[in-house]
Amino acid sequence: MVLLILRLLATVLHIALVFALAPLLLGLVTKLRAWLLGRRGAPLVQPYRNLRRLLHKTTLVPDTATDLYPIWPFVCFTAIAAAAMLVPGFCLGLLTANLSDFITLVGLLALARGATMLAGLESGFGFGGAAAAREALFSVFAEAAFLVILISFVLIAHSPTVDGVAGAFRMGHIGISVSLGFALAAILAVALTETGRIPTDNPSGHLELAMVHEAMLLEYSGRFLLLFEYAAMLRLMVWMCLIGTVFFPFGMARAGEVLSWPGGLLLWVGKLGVMAIALSLFEISTAKMRVFRVPEFLGVAMLLGVLSGVFLFVASRIGG
């Protein structure tokens, strides 16, 4: 009973923190990027201000939109929000642990993506459609690469859930394995694509022709745009949590032991900070790709995923 209450508390804390810190994380990445480029940058809390501003704006609906126009932001937001509740952050053993199957996660991300693409096609204007078509192209390779990596996760950890995989990797029996290295490289490429960062998309771009994620939302305003923007922030958070939990699970707290929570929280914040620094460093050191180079980039990720599986099989052949 006590355990259950503790797990519930940990889950609530996790959800509250993830939802509260997601805008800050985006602000941090933007700030770091500006610093690295020698600019002062917007204040850290700028994403919160943006959300607040959108809250106070009138929501405009294009006259060419259908009745489903308000549905897509909600679908996109709820799918990402559910994913954020599933992926553990500072502690393992959340109440949602059993639900956090990797394939469910893939499905939720696909649901959010589908809703965003439909939002782009909703009012029937050119930029939205072009961006949705590009998103469809990227997602084909990204989803394949992500699914392939799952083979090494699930077969090494003998568990299909994020929680179980992180728990198994945390025990440290695995050590540093070549196949997990390949998997890390592949998942980084997938995460960059899914969150719309450089090199596949530029989050601070203002040219409609070159935008992918933002161009689908051009006809959205006010509270609907708020949902989409918040979902984008949460998506960055979810991917960072996922990578942190699976590849760097050291020091994660256990939901049943309250005393381990502060350490887990501190380490989690630290991990997020390190990943934000790594992301901004990577972003200033590369340029955005042409659209038709992205399939090659993600194709390499897919190949790395397959290689990670191959190395795993070879290793188990030699070792076993």
Contact set for other proteins, span 190-229 (CB under 8 A): 208, 218-219, 222-223, 226-227
Using CB under 8 A, pick the residue from 8, 37, 155, 174 that binds other proteins.
155
Using CB under 8 A, pick the residue from 22, 97, 145, 217 that binds other proteins.
145
Q: Which residues contact 172 (CB under 8 A, 6 or more apart)?
A: none
278 sits near other proteins (criterion: CB under 8 A): no
Using CB under 8 A, pick the residue from 141, 169, 182, 268 that binds other proteins.
141
96 sits near other proteins (criterion: CB under 8 A): yes
Whether 130 and 207 have beta carbons less than 8 Å apart is answered as: no
Give the nearer residue to other proteins in terms of CB position, either 29 or 183.
Answer: 183
Give the nearer residue to other proteins in terms of CB position, either 226 or 276.
Answer: 226
Using CB under 8 A, pick the residue from 25, 118, 275, 276 that binds other proteins.
118
**Nearest CA to 213 among 299, 122, 302, 127?**
127
Task: Find the binding residues for other proteins in span 282-301 (CB under 8 A).
Answer: 291-292, 295
Using CB under 8 A, pick the residue from 98, 262, 270, 274 that binds other proteins.
98
143 sits near other proteins (criterion: CB under 8 A): yes
128 sits near other proteins (criterion: CB under 8 A): yes
| The two structure tokens encoding residue 289 | 């790709």
Give the nearer residue to other proteins in terms of CB position, either 146 or 261.
Answer: 146
Does residue 286 sit in helix, strand or coil?
Answer: coil
Element (H, E) at 269: helix 261-285
Report the DSSP beta bridge partners of residue 101: 161
CA atoms of 304 and 284, how far apart (whole Å): 24
With CB under 8 A as the contact rule, which of the stretches 2-10, 34-42, 52-60, 264-272 interacts with other proteins? 52-60
Give the nearer residue to other proteins in terms of CB position, either 33 or 134.
Answer: 134
Supply the angle between the helices 102-122 and 126-157 in degrees, to the nearest 10: 180
Number of residues that bind other proteins (CB under 8 A): 87
68 sits near other proteins (criterion: CB under 8 A): yes
Q: In angstroms, how far apart are the furthest CA atoms of the chain? A: 65
86 sits near other proteins (criterion: CB under 8 A): yes
CA atoms of 241 and 285, how far apart (whole Å): 23
Does residue 254 sit in helix, strand or coil?
Answer: strand
CA atoms of 306 and 205, how far apart (whole Å): 33
